[in-house]
Structure 1
């Protein structure tokens, strides 16, 4: 595997991003975004990857000079597409447990502009190692580079308001540092904690049976082939002009800088996540294994579309035209012929997801339309039948759920 001579001169670019996490999502989203910007001449720099746990891909990344192949597979405008691209945005990888001094030195470089993290929700707690490690890096920069350019800290963990929450953890830990008061003041002026939202289905490595043929087409072996859907979104909250100067990776519909990313969060939560959650019990009761199979089912596919377009969208405050366009993209993503997204996986933590994602839509729909959302009511009845636990629903929808529950008990789904 070699970097093409006619591509951008990757080894001449400064290291601008320190990334905690070696996983496939960050490769398919962050490294891809930086690589695209570099190819366009934006000089977004390179990424130093930090392996936070004993298990990771640091050694493999270094063995491949930071290179890996991104394979995009899915539907675009109804057509099957498969694209491959060698990604050159990663310069090297470090292991936090054995090379922390090198990680700290990297953070102290004046060219460093951003720290990105994806340590999972389990690692995104004050009693985990990541917040303490981040605080250590920031304290070192405060002492050695206090007048340096602002540093952007951008968590990508699937946690609401992940930027302010990480800032609060660092502020609490800062109290234990020798110059705590000065350090805390510097954090407010020298660091920007930015919430962000990531959205890209990434399946990781291709099936082993497929690898020989794929590598034969590529002309090289790659232990880090990363397969993802064509759709990608990374929405970062902050001052757009500041972000553009620090991290010039903005790309229409794929990397978005905005003062408030609430719109993107609500759009994903309601149109994608709520659709998944509302339909999972019904699909499992019917015996449909994957989301794609549900779309291909003549009755279930129509049911899904009614739920999404006729009931969920009207119950949101999203602009109608943009919501409809995004919903069409969601349906296309669900139909991805390469993706086997199983309903049993989607239904993990179903009760909590139902409360957060789906149930708040029901009273809004009732108020706006003056009737129960019949498709949502049937989905709620299926949830009750599958979980064998009641839902607290009143009004017209409560009556509709009771009616549908009786139908399911009498006739099945």
Structure 2
């Protein structure tokens, strides 16, 4: 029997990531899907997207960029989504599908989507009208599933939060305590509801109307294995691993660190206000300076944790992503929230390296970390 999926979130990112991967896995003969998509926010915004998801012809995802030194400009018609609900207009149908016709849940509501307002913490939220926050909606649906069909469930959060599965479980557990849910539910939730930590990595640069997306060729969905977990499908861009930290460190301290180093250079040297990553790297001096930073400081830092080969490979992929001729990634956007980004991308890297090899000096990164 097919592994049916319920997805909270209608974003272009999910269309060009999870929805595309599941489409390709299904097309290869795997029993995964279809997907039911759920709009979790109130209002008419994105109502046209909900209607468009129901089109059996699917929706376009255009892959544009560089891969292995070659230009990629292709389109895939994604047909993994069969149905779309508005949580506020279709709550009864959603409860039934979640309880009896779902094996895997995917969510991407952004970090702000995990905020729980005080009214959703009241025990009365366990019944009555549809809760306002995503965690309260999810907990209500879990309670309904436990009562009617307490089958195991796999939840794969895609929010860009470190240890996002553990974080979501903590929020749901606290909310269950606020609602005074019984021991039977809590035991089932702990035993049979698996919530994995994951890392997603793909630049989805543009939405298409009414539905669809433009994305770069590079993509990764790294999922930390949990005890008893059954891998829902296989795909070249999906990795099941016991060591999610390696993938997180590579993205944070190579791709994101490189972005932040470029943003600091752009801020401090008065370059063009609308300059993009591709444009700044067309300056040979800037390109060579970034490459030497990666070679002389970033790679040795990863080598201190025995990850030299992985870092070298990921740097090559990162430079190719930066050179994407179809992507206009403005450095002014990257430079937003600059100080906390320096801490998480550079300061945390220095601390991580020092824990393995205190003698490494890494002067340019230390100078950047000390600039805030």
**TM-score under structure 2 length normalisation:** 0.87
Alignment of 1:2-401 (within 5 A): 14=2, 16-53=4-41, 54=43, 55-56=45-46, 57-62=48-53, 64-65=55-56, 67-109=58-100, 111-127=101-117, 129-146=133-150, 148=151, 150-177=152-179, 179-205=181-207, 223-239=210-226, 242-244=229-231, 247-248=232-233, 250-252=234-236, 254-286=237-269, 287-288=271-272, 289-316=275-302, 317=305, 319-362=307-350, 364=353, 368=357, 370=359, 372-376=361-365, 379=368, 384=371, 391=372
Give the length in aligned residue pairs. Answer: 349
CA distance in 2, matches of 1:48, 1:66: 16
Aligned equivalents of 1:175, 1:377: Cα separation in 2: 44
Report the Cα distance in structure 2 between the residues aligned to 1:164 and 1:121, rounded to whole angstroms: 14
CA deviations 1:105-152 (Å, max 9, x no partner) are: 11012x411111111111112336100000011101100012x2x201
Deviations 1:335-386 (A, max 9, x none): 00011111111111111111121023346479959564344356457xx4xx
Structure 1: runs of 5+ lacking an equivalent: 1-12, 207-221, 385-390, 392-413
SS at match of 1:71: strand
Q: In the superposition, relative to structure 1, how do residues 304 and 266 fare at CA in structure 2: closer, same or farther (>3 Å)?
A: same
Change (3 A) 1:101 1:58: farther
Q: 1:26 to 1:357 in 2, by over 3 A?
A: same
CA contact 1:365–1:373 (8 Å) conserved in 2:
no
Quick check: 254-263 or 27-36, which moved more?
A: 254-263
The structure having more radius of gyration, on CA atoms, is 1
Shift of 1:14: 4.9
Q: What are the Cα deviations for residues 188-220 of structure 1, in whole angstroms up to 9, with x where unaligned? A: 1120011111100001236xxxxxxxxxxxxxx
Q: Which consecutive residues of structure 2, in runs of 5 or more, have no partner in the other structure?
A: 118-131
Once residues 362 and 185 of structure 1 are traced to their aligned partners in structure 2, the CA distance between those partners, rounded to angstroms, is 41
SS in 2 for 1:175: helix
Q: 1:48 to 1:279 in 2, by over 3 A?
A: same
Question: Residue 260 of structure 2 contacts residue 338 of structure 2 at CA under 8 Å; is this kept in 1?
Answer: yes
Aligned-pair Cα RMSD in Å? 2.4
Q: Distance in 2 between matches of 1:278 and 1:98?
A: 46
- Compute the displacement of 1:65 (Å): 3.5
Secondary structure of 1:98's match? coil
Higher RCO (Cα < 8 Å, 6 or more apart): 2
Match of 1:94, SS state, is strand
TM-score by length of 1: 0.79
